[in-house]
Structure 1
Amino acid sequence: MSMERSGAITFKGNPVTLLGAEVKVGDKAPDFQVLANDLSPVTLADSKGSVRIISVVPSVDTGVCDAQTRRFNEEAANLSGVKVYTVSVDLPFAQKRWCGAAGIENVQTVSDHRDLSFGTAYGIAIKELRLLARGVFVIDQNDQVVYAEYVAEATDHPDYEAPVLAAKKALEA
């Protein structure tokens, strides 16, 4: 059984339990298996050798998640050599529909709905809701975590500038 961190964050003001250990800067990025919009598996190894920004949202169908994904889509347009993922537990079909409607082309949405592989590996799955909490991770070319944010209140926005700066710095390394 994976570890539980009760009260690690709040969701709409209520303390919730996160499943899995907290990932910290300097850690080796844990592997995971999520699903692309066409149901094909996506793993950390698939993007080996790239700098990755992984934006984590509870659902693309909510206001803050929508804004967060659009913002990273804009940032990604200016970050050549950086792969940007948005991971949520939305079904792949819903992610695909949402991306088409939102005109998202620079971010790959991936679904963790099947077994919370990403959520538990990165310690960001909310036990009580079976959703992912909000956060952002930046992983360098050597699979090292160079930025990690767990947003304290899941309905708040993450920091947008810091992960972009961390990704740019990793590109220059």
Structure 2
Amino acid sequence: MNPPHTDEELVAFMLQNQQEAFRQIYDRYKSALLVYAMKRVPFDVAEDLVHDVFMRLWNNRSDLEIKERFVGYIFKSLRNRISDFIAKEEKGAQYLNSLEDFAATFSYSNADDLLREKLFMDRINNLLLKYGPHYQLILKMKLEGYSNQEIADKLGYSEKTIRNQSWSLLKYLRSKFIIFLFF
């Protein structure tokens, strides 16, 4: 029986495209790499990452420049793959959390409602340009829930004047917007 080859000999044979040398490296390190990975990630992920390390080792064998002991090289390769996986998982989780936060605070229906409200108010403000800033202020205060008397007191007019101006303004807006029938 031949004595087993060293890692460096097996790597040299693998660089010459000898699949048997690669299989021996795989058999020699697969279990140890899997145990190392399972301490850091779930089993199924650990298996995938270990297989990925070996697949990259074989696929990139012509470009390999191992400047350290092979065992250190292969464990460092796995550690880097684990780090990459964890970073992607954390970024993915952060992204999903940010989407959930966004959805919770600013849902599509809320965004649509806000946009419709803004467009509606912009259209009203454009129509009110005909009446001037005094009428705009009265309407704004009406929309904020002030009564005619409260508006009159704040603006220094009689309640009857505010009522007449509000009525005139709403009549004009109703003629422009059907929705004001429910206002």
Q: Which structure features the higher share of helix residues?
A: 2
Q: TM-score, normalised by structure 1?
A: 0.23
Q: TM-score, normalised by structure 2?
A: 0.22
Q: Which structure features the higher share of strand residues?
A: 1
Query: Which structure has the greater CA radius of gyration?
Result: 2
